[in-house]
Amino acid sequence: MSSTAFTFPGQGSQAVGMGKDLADAYPEARVVFAEVDEALGQKLSTLMFEGPEDDLRLTENAQPALMAASMAVMRVLEARGVHLQDRAAYVAGHSLGEYSALCAAGTFSLADAARLLRIRGQAMQKAVPVGHGAMAALLGLDLDTARAVAAEAGQGEVCDIANDNAPGQVVVSGATAAIERAVEIAKGKGARRALLLPVSAPFHCSLMQPAADAMAAALAEVDMQAPVVPLVANVLAAPISDPAEIRQRLVEQVTGIVRWTESVTWLTTAGGVANLVELGTGKVLTGLAKRIAADASARAVNSPADVDAFIAELGA
């Protein structure tokens, strides 16, 4: 069994120009982008390649765009003999990256993954009126201290832990006033920095329940296969393969905490993974991996040069 896991980035990694070098270099990448465009009835690829950035950053666009970029890398690798089930023991994705991971592992078709992420992005945006929710990064606090900050800041309003991204990097999410209180409280509890994040909605908190309900309905309608390798789920930090459980955990994930620190720790300890390979745009997960599991190797594969180097290394 391979000691590698493929990981897939989440929102925030998008950037104008994403995927364009792959599309220019590889017909397989062009096919992915064309298929996503067709599934959405929108030239998402043009928005990815050319912007404008404000439109790309919209949750309903950023989510399928990030999945498309990840799948373009995956299809290019497959065309060159690098097959996921032969090269990876597990997949994992950060928030929307779980859909990319499951598409790569054969649970969802590419068109279904794109449509689900469009629904997810729209539902998350609509769940809370603009201005009524916020998120903040608490840097330099451990998870227990961050939980204490959130509890103190709530004062009857929602203030939840949204992401445990890496040691000393915890994100809180909830009602705007509560999150603003959390920023001040965190500074008093020794946070190195505490800052509001430039997001359009408070993801991964209980205010997202309407979006979770929308995803339960959407996922119930979609054909799902068992992934060719297990998914280490955000809400469990443990591997799952049963389509019914995957469906349930994807619904829970909308309001639940992204347990990324624990997920990478599970992969590199119990999972026996020594190599974490991030497929898609940016290098956010690669940076987090180096902080969570210093002994593991971590790399990002997102450009033609990355693809060539990775294939050469594998001897594929």
- Report the catalytic residues: 95, 204
Three-class DSSP category at 76: helix
- CA 119 vs CA 9, 59, 249, 253, 309: distances in Å: 19, 10, 17, 15, 36
Residues 69 and 9: their CA atoms lie apart, in Å, by 10
Residues 6 or more apart whose Cβ sits within 8 Å of residue 112: 39, 222, 223
Residues 302 and 166: their CA atoms lie apart, in Å, by 22
Tell me which H or E stretch contains 133.
Answer: strand 133-139
Residues 297 and 113: their CA atoms lie apart, in Å, by 29
- Residue 189's beta-bridge partner residues? none
- CA 20 vs CA 51, 96, 154, 282: distances in Å: 12, 21, 43, 13
Other C-beta atoms closer than 10 Å to the C-beta of 109 total 16
Residues 29 and 45: their CA atoms lie apart, in Å, by 11
- Residue 137's beta-bridge partner residues? 171, 195
Q: Name the residue among 46, 22, 111, 13 with its Cα closest to residue 304.
A: 22
